[in-house]
Structure 1
Amino acid sequence: MKKLLALAAIAIALQGCTTNLIEGQKQELETYKQKGLAVEERNPKLAAVLGILPMAGYLYDGNYVLAFTTLPLYPFLGPLWMPFDTYNSAQARNYYATKPHVERERSKAMQANDRAMDDKHIDDVTYRRIRREIEDKYSAY
């Protein structure tokens, strides 16, 4: 019984060791998803399902070193810990792919607006209105 309790305590403690996004990052990613700007390199749910199998979730997430270094832990903690870790890792990967994508798209839109102003295709009022629209579209808040 003591061994089972110790194993459960270790599993619960290891949940805090997973690659987690902080709350603000989760909110940003959700906002980008709602605006259709999120990049999904990996499916977090699929990563979690694959995390039940030895190495599979980490290989799917692209964490090749973790796939091999956590293999000895699999018999003890794998099914309890790895699905959470691979889910969070996929979510983090998507977040860190989305941030530069959104910034590139925002920058392109701003440059196009600047060019239109420089070429005298739009007036100052229109330029400012478009600039606000761009900021609203690409803002995470």
Structure 2
Amino acid sequence: MIKNFIFVGLIALLTSGCATGLNSQQSAQYNSMEARGLAVQEKNPTTGALLGILPGGGSFYAREPAFGVLNLLFWPLSIFWDPVSGYDGATRINYNFSKAQIDNDKREAEKKLYRDYQDGLISETALARGMRDIEDKYRY
């Protein structure tokens, strides 16, 4: 009885995948980034899924080497979950890269606008309007 319970638990754990995808809020943010042309594609999720067919390929592609080795050991069973891990991992990488790039671009735009204000090139009203525009442009 206990052996069966442990076996079922182990199978459930193994088939749940290793790389964590985006939660619902992150997914909505990433969709918004893509729709507004702000998303960065560092990794191709489809490539991650296809590489998941190879022993540990999806996890290695998603920069999860420990899970890649684990999936390598469980190959060919890992072809049931590693394509999902590769896809989710690549999407997570793209989300994180996009967020970092957007935050960096926003800081640079704010610095430029503030320098223009300090140099007397724009008024305080124009500074406030510009900051609102930057906030709207780089919101995710």
TM-score range, shorter chain: 0.7 to 0.9
User: What's the counterpart of residue 3 of structure 2?
Assistant: none
Pair 1:62 & 2:57 matched: no
* Structure 2: segments with no counterpart, 5+ residues: 1-6
SS at match of 1:134: helix
* Structure 1: segments with no counterpart, 5+ residues: 1-5
Deviation at 1:125, TM superposition (A): 1.7
Deviation at 1:26, TM superposition (A): 0.8
Distance 1:14 1:139 in 2: 36
Tell me if structure 2 keeps the 8 A contact 1:45–1:87.
yes
User: What's the counterpart of residue 124 of structure 1?
Assistant: 124
Q: Which amino acid aligns with 2:34?
A: K
User: What's the counterpart of residue 87 of structure 2?
Assistant: 87
Deviation at 1:33, TM superposition (A): 1.4
SS at match of 1:39: coil
Deviation at 1:111, TM superposition (A): 0.6
Deviation at 1:61, TM superposition (A): 2.3
53-62 vs 13-22, which moves further = 13-22
Summarize the Cα distance change of 1:70–1:17 in structure 2 as closer, same or farther, 3 Å threshold: closer
User: What's the counterpart of residue 25 of structure 2?
Assistant: 24
Distance 1:99 1:124 in 2: 29
Deviation at 1:81, TM superposition (A): 0.6
Distance 2:136 2:15 in 1: 39
Distance 1:29 1:139 in 2: 11
More helix by share: 1
Q: Which amino acid aligns with 1:97?
A: F
**Percent identity for Structure 1 against Structure 2:** 32
Deviation at 1:126, TM superposition (A): 1.3
Deviation at 1:85, TM superposition (A): 0.9
SS at match of 2:76: helix
After superposition, give the CA deviation of every residue in 1:106-126 in whole Å (9 maximum; x if it has no partner).
Answer: 000001110111111111221
What is the root-mean-square deviation of aligned Cα atoms in Å?
2.3
SS at match of 1:84: helix
After superposition, give the CA deviation of every residue in 1:80-137 in whole Å (9 maximum; x if it has no partner).
Answer: 1111111101111111111111111000000111011111111122111111110001
Tell me if structure 2 keeps the 8 A contact 1:44–1:86.
yes
Name which structure has the greater RCO, CA cutoff 8 Å, separation 6+: 1
Deviation at 1:28, TM superposition (A): 1.0
TM-score, scaled to structure 2: 0.84
